[in-house]
Structure 1
Amino acid sequence: MAFSSPFIFFNLSLLITIFLSFCGTDPVSSCYTSIFSFGDSLTDTGNYLYIYNSSNIGNFPYGETYFHHPTGRCSDGRVLVDFIEHSSSIWTSFASTISRMFGRSRSSAGSEFCCRGGHCDRCRLLRREEDWRGDCKRIFGRSALVVQRTVAFSLPLTIRGSLFLVGEIGINDYFYLFNNGSSLEVIRTYVPQVVSTIGSAVHTLIERGAMTLVVPGGPPIGCSALILTIGASLNKDDYDKETGCLKRWNELVQYHNDRLQIELDRMRDLHPHATIIYADYYNAAFRVFRSPLQFGFSKGALSACCGAGGPYNYNSSFGCGTHEARVCKDPSLYFNWDGGHPTEAGHRLIADAVISGPYDLLVHACH
Structure 2
Amino acid sequence: MALSSGSSAIIAVMIWSILLLPAMSESHCYTTIFSFGDSLADTGNYLLSGPARFPAVAHLPYGETFFHHPTGRFCNGRLIIDFMAEAYGLPLLPPYLAIQGNESERYAKGVNFAVAGATALDVSYFVERRIPGLWTADSLSVQLGWFNNTLPSLCSENCHDYLKRALFVVGEIGGNDFNFALIQGRKSIDEVVSYVPDVVSAIVEAVNVLIKQGAVELVVPGNLPIGCSTLYLTVFRSANPLDYDPLTGCLIKFNEFAVYYNSYLQDALQKLRRQQPQAKIIYADYYNSAMGFFRNPPIFGFESVLKACCGVGEPYNFNLILMCSAATNVCKDPSTYANWDGIHLTEKAYEWMAHGFLNGLFTYPWLKPPMLCH
TM-score over 0.5 (shorter chain): yes
| 1:82 counterpart residue number | 82
User: 2:17 is matched with which residue?
Assistant: none
Q: Secondary structure at the match of 1:342?
A: coil
CA distance in 2, matches of 1:278, 1:161: 19
Aligned length: 311
Deviation per CA, 1:215-272: give whole Å up to 9, x if none.
0010111101111001111211110000000011111111010001100100100011
Question: 8 Å contact 1:222–1:247 — kept in the other structure?
Answer: yes
Distance in 1 (alpha carbons) for counterparts of 2:329 and 2:251: 25
- Report what 1:344 is aligned to: 347
Q: Is the 8 A contact 2:117 2:176 kept in 1?
A: no
Output the aligned Cα RMSD. Answer: 3.2
Deviation at 1:123, TM superposition (A): 5.9
Question: 2:307 — aligned with what?
Answer: 303
Contact 1:99 1:145 in 2 (8 A): no
Return 5+ residue gaps in structure 2 as ranges: 1-26, 92-106, 129-135, 148-152
Separation (CA, whole Å) in 1 of partners of 2:62 and 2:146: 22
Partner in structure 1 of residue 287 of structure 2:
282
Opposite residue 335 of structure 1, the aligned amino acid is: A
Q: Does 1:243 align with 2:239?
A: no
Aligned residue for 2:367, secondary structure, equals coil
- Structure 2 residue 174 is matched with structure 1 residue 170: yes
Matching residue's letter, 2:124: R
Contact (CA 8 Å) 2:32, 2:90: kept in 1 or not? Answer: no
Aligned residue type for 2:234: T
Percent identity over paired residues = 43
Give the Cα–Cα distance (whole angstroms) in 2 for the partners of residues 196 and 124 of structure 1: 18
2:210 corresponds in structure 1 to 205
Q: 1:61 to 1:187 in 2, by over 3 A?
A: same
Q: Per-residue CA shift, 1:125-149, capped at 9, x if unaligned?
A: 9xxxxxxxxxxxxxx79x9959xxx
Local SS of the residue matching 1:215: strand
**Larger fraction in helix:** 2
Distance in 2 (alpha carbons) for counterparts of 1:332 and 1:364: 26
How far residue 282 of structure 1 moved from its aligned partner, in angstroms, is 0.5
Distance in 2 of aligned mates of 1:145 and 1:68: 29
1:1-367 correspondence to structure 2 within 5 Å:
30-52=28-50, 54=52, 55-88=55-88, 96-101=109-114, 104=117, 115-117=123-125, 145=146, 158-179=162-183, 180-298=185-303, 300-321=304-325, 323=327, 325-356=328-359, 358-359=361-362, 361-364=366-369
Q: Distance in 2 between matches of 1:283 and 1:364?
A: 20
Provide closer, same or farther for how the CA distance between residues 104 and 341 of structure 1 changes in structure 2, counting only shifts above 3 A: closer
Partner of 1:332, secondary structure, is helix
CA–CA distance in structure 2, aligned partners of residues 118 and 350 of structure 1: 31
> Would you say the 8 A contact 1:104–1:114 is kept in 2?
no
Paired residue type of 1:249: F
Following the alignment from structure 2 to structure 1, what is the Cα–Cα distance between the partners of residues 154 and 173?
31
Q: Contact (CA 8 Å) 2:178, 2:192: kept in 1 or not?
A: yes
Cα displacement (A) at 1:104: 4.8
Aligned amino acid, residue 40 of structure 1: D
TM-score (norm 2): 0.75
1:124/1:168 Cα in 2 relative to 1: closer, same or farther (>3 Å)? Answer: closer
Tell me how far 1:318 sits from its aligned partner. 0.6
In structure 2, do the counterparts of structure 1 residues 155 and 194 end up closer, same or farther at CA, with 3 Å as the change threshold? Answer: closer
* SS of residue matched to 1:207: helix
Q: Give the CA deviation at 1:116.
A: 2.7
Q: Which runs of 5+ in 1 are unaligned?
A: 1-28, 106-110, 126-139, 147-152
Kept in 2: contact 1:206–1:274 (CA 8 A): yes
Q: 2:356 corresponds to which letter in structure 1? A: A
CA 1:32–1:259: 2 relative to 1, 3 Å? same
Tell me, yes or no, if the aligned pair for 1:171 and 1:253 is still in contact at 8 Å.
no
Distance in 1 between the 2:362 and 2:137 partners? 37
The amino acid of 2:169's aligned partner reads L
Which is further off, 337-346 or 51-60?
51-60
TM-score with structure 1 setting the length: 0.77
Q: What SS does structure 2 have at the residue aligned with 1:302?
A: strand
Aligned residue in 2 for 1:7: none
Q: Are 1:32 and 1:95, in contact at CA under 8 Å, matched by a contact in 2?
A: no
* Higher RCO (CA 8 Å, separation ≥ 6 residues): 1
